[in-house]
Amino acid sequence: MATGRLGVGETLGALNTALGPGEPVWFKETRARHLRARDFLAPRPALQARFGDGQVPEHVVHAVAGLQGPGVAPVLRCELTPAGLALQLQRPAVFERVLGAVTAYAAPAAPAAPGPRVLLHCPALRGAPGALRLSQLRAVLVADHLARALRAHGASVRLVPAVRDPHMRTFLQQLRVDWPAASENAATGALRNLLLAELSPAPDGGALPPGVLGTVCLKEVMRERGCTAGYDPNVDKCLVTEDLLCVLAELQAAVRHWPGDGPPGLATAPDADADGCMALHVVSCEEEFQQQKLDLLWWKLDEQAPRTQKHLVCGPVKAASALMAPEYYELRQAQVCKAAALKRGRELSQDPTWTEVFSVLSAATIKFEMLSTAPQSQLLLALADGSISTKGTKSGTFVMYNCARLATLFEGYKHSREQGLYPTFPPVSSLDFSLLQDEGEWLLLFNGVLPFPELLSQTAALACAAPGLHATAHTEMMCKFLVQLSMDFSSYYNRVHILGVSTQHRGRGGGSLQGCKGSKGGDQQAPSLLQEPRPHLFGQMFARLQLLRAVREVLHAGLATLGLPPLNHI
């Protein structure tokens, strides 16, 4: 059997190369109705532009049909259709390659070189949680998710500021945000000495405002560095305060004293100077103007300030009522508890065994709401109770619910095996993946498991190469992916029995809490007196279990980039 991880990117690259010189034309299909007939398509209009009359030369079709190479998925057939050149993969072979190496597809593609050094700065974390606006909370969650994604892809990430307010630390723990804490301020003496030589007297010779050490002209800095693109034209004088010096001192210390125990493979990374580190400031739209002043002042006072400073500006958050971040969390937590009480007919919020579940669900609800929209766009929040439901197919609760269904499925198999109903799981190399013929099974593998490593890489990709101040990120991709994967799994789980029973005896899962521990309806996948295991279906059952094991690994890995632990029951 061939080895090595298959990749969508590698396959697309080989397909485009096989067509000859020109712009890429192939794309991967994702819709279920198209996947019935093809996996990749080169559209007819693109072929007409490439080959004139649209007639693809026979030798090109043969080259595509015989495609091979590292990471390239094996091809079954390639034919010209009314839609264009359609390609279908050898699906049993792809199942075998992917499901024979599940863990390889739950991790990002290995970077070609040691990752960059990124100073990730989120100024919203300098205050107390009671003063944290929803737009600032969004910036915090974006920064946390981006830090996890960057680290998973090999980058060395330093988080600033260290959180000093104990109430903020507690609030971040509730939200499953992993951010460093500290108790002392960085020394400002060196910066103060540099500042004294740069200060301008007060305008018109008057007295400076209380607490202001002096003023610095920032327009000169922009002209000197040629960095006017993206900066507000109103940025001019900066009033320098003691607090501002403390902020700069912490940024300076973070860059100059980079931890020596970074992720593996980073030992040869350049020193953390102006050439070796990028500063990324993740700010709400209300904070950007002040952060622009801080950037320029840092360049003015510190020769070792990173040459590349970028802003990831999070758009505004609009809600029907004005809430601060802790009030928003309390609202969502109360709604989660209320939904559980309605489902079970009893109050569970005081039950210690459910406290952790409700805490995770509350954090998941908020993170999926805040992160499912591209960070640069405006976010509209719906605060009503209806947004908290296991049936809400765009919610974090829905994703966590399906994680619990998977946990229950495997727990059901384990319990039945211990009772002697099922044999021990055989070696994966002995499984017959040609038995996976349901459309939903290919959908889970082709749209869920196979492209996941590249999704992790795309989540960690920062669009910073363009000139100017602003950077863009795709932190919304993970939430959207996990929701879609959960929808595909839920549809498959409700329609197909996994644990080797006849479909005519099965129940319906619907949108209830069936399939989760503690539910009233039991588990539609568990064997019963009327649903006895059938040995002739064991081969298909094990192949399906291996597929869902891969789905589970991908879901867990995706949730890890959001700082969310998977739940075993809801």
Q: Which H or E element spans position 415?
A: helix 396-418
Confidence of residue 137 (pLDDT cuts 50, 70, 90): very high
Q: Rounded to an integer, what distance in angstroms lies between the CA atom of residue 78 and that of residue 47?
A: 14
For the segment 476-498, the average pLDDT, to the nearest whole number, is 94
**Main-chain dihedrals φ then ψ at residue 411, nearest 5 degrees:** -65, -35
Taking 80 as the threshold, does the pLDDT of residue 193 lie above it?
no
Taking 90 as the threshold, does the pLDDT of residue 245 lie above it?
no
**Which amino acid is located at 30 in the chain?**
T
How high is the pLDDT of residue 323? 92
How high is the pLDDT of residue 190? 66
Query: pTM higher than 0.75 for the full model?
Result: yes
Tokens of 92: 């049993």
Left if phi > 0, otherwise alpha if psi is -120 to 50, otherwise beta: which for 564? beta
Tokens of 220: 């000169």
Q: Bigger pLDDT: 200 or 173?
A: 173
For the segment 266-286, the average pLDDT, to the nearest whole number, is 66
For the segment 193-201, the average pLDDT, to the nearest whole number, is 64
Sequence-ordered list of residues with C-beta below 8 angstroms from that of 347, at least 6 positions apart, any chain: 337, 341
User: Contact at 8 Å (CB) between 158 and 279?
Assistant: no
Taking 60 as the threshold, does the pLDDT of residue 530 lie above it?
no
Confidence of residue 550 (pLDDT cuts 50, 70, 90): very high
Nearest CA to 21 out of 49, 45, 41, 44 is that of 49
For the segment 186-193, the average pLDDT, to the nearest whole number, is 65
Q: Rounded to an integer, what distance in angstroms lies between the CA atom of residue 450 and that of residue 481?
A: 12
Q: Bigger pLDDT: 408 or 224?
A: 408
Q: Which CATH class is domain 8-89?
A: alpha beta
For the chain, give the percent of residues with pLDDT over 70: 81
Q: At what angle do helices 396-418 and 538-560 cross, to 10 degrees?
A: 140
Enumerate the β-bridge partners of residue 241. 212
**How many of the other CB atoms lie within 10 Å of CB of 355?**
13
Q: Bigger pLDDT: 405 or 514?
A: 405
Tokens of 321: 């009522």
Which stretch of 111-115, 190-194, 485-489, 500-504 has the lowest confidence by average pLDDT? Answer: 500-504
> E strands of 190-236, at which residues?
212-217
For the segment 186-202, the average pLDDT, to the nearest whole number, is 64
Tokens of 240: 């320098």
Confidence of residue 516 (pLDDT cuts 50, 70, 90): very low
For the segment 387-407, the average pLDDT, to the nearest whole number, is 79
**How many of the other CB atoms lie within 10 Å of CB of 222?**
20
Q: Rounded to an integer, what distance in angstroms lies between the CA atom of residue 12 and that of residue 26?
A: 6
Q: Rounded to an integer, what distance in angstroms lies between the CA atom of residue 376 and that of residue 310?
A: 14
User: Contact at 8 Å (CB) between 469 and 292?
Assistant: yes
Q: Rounded to an integer, what distance in angstroms lies between the CA atom of residue 377 and that of residue 144?
A: 18
Q: Bigger pLDDT: 517 or 135?
A: 135
Confidence of residue 267 (pLDDT cuts 50, 70, 90): very low
Nearest CA to 350 out of 360, 337, 362 is that of 337
Taking 90 as the threshold, does the pLDDT of residue 191 lie above it?
no
Q: Rounded to an integer, what distance in angstroms lies between the CA atom of residue 272 and that of residue 270?
A: 6
For the chain, give the percent of residues with pLDDT over 90: 54
How high is the pLDDT of residue 201? 60
Nearest CA to 538 out of 446, 417, 415, 438 is that of 417
How high is the pLDDT of residue 185? 65
Q: What is the pLDDT of residues 287-310, one digit of tens each?
A: 999 999 999 989 888 888 898 899
User: Contact at 8 Å (CB) between 464 and 119?
Assistant: no
For the segment 329-357, the average pLDDT, to the nearest whole number, is 78
Taking 90 as the threshold, does the pLDDT of residue 15 lie above it?
yes
**Main-chain dihedrals φ then ψ at residue 190, nearest 5 degrees:** -65, -45
For the segment 477-496, the average pLDDT, to the nearest whole number, is 95
**How many of the other CB atoms lie within 10 Å of CB of 405?**
28
How high is the pLDDT of residue 423? 92
Confidence of residue 453 (pLDDT cuts 50, 70, 90): very high
How high is the pLDDT of residue 262? 45
The answer as to CATH 3.40.50.300 being correct for domain 117-319 is no
Domain chopping of the chain, boundaries = 8-89, 117-319
Q: What is the pLDDT of residues 220-239, one digit of tens each?
A: 888 877 777 788 888 888 88
- Cis peptide bond upstream of 161, omega within 30: yes
**How many of the other CB atoms lie within 10 Å of CB of 561?**
25
Taking 60 as the threshold, does the pLDDT of residue 107 lie above it?
yes
Q: Rounded to an integer, what distance in angstroms lies between the CA atom of residue 392 and that of residue 384?
A: 13
Nearest CA to 115 out of 4, 327, 266 is that of 266
Q: Rounded to an integer, what distance in angstroms lies between the CA atom of residue 100 and that of residue 488?
A: 21
Which stretch of 12-16, 57-61, 309-313, 503-507 has the lowest confidence by average pLDDT? Answer: 503-507
Mean pLDDT taken over the chain: 84
Calculate ∠ Cα 533-537-539, nearest 5°.
Answer: 120
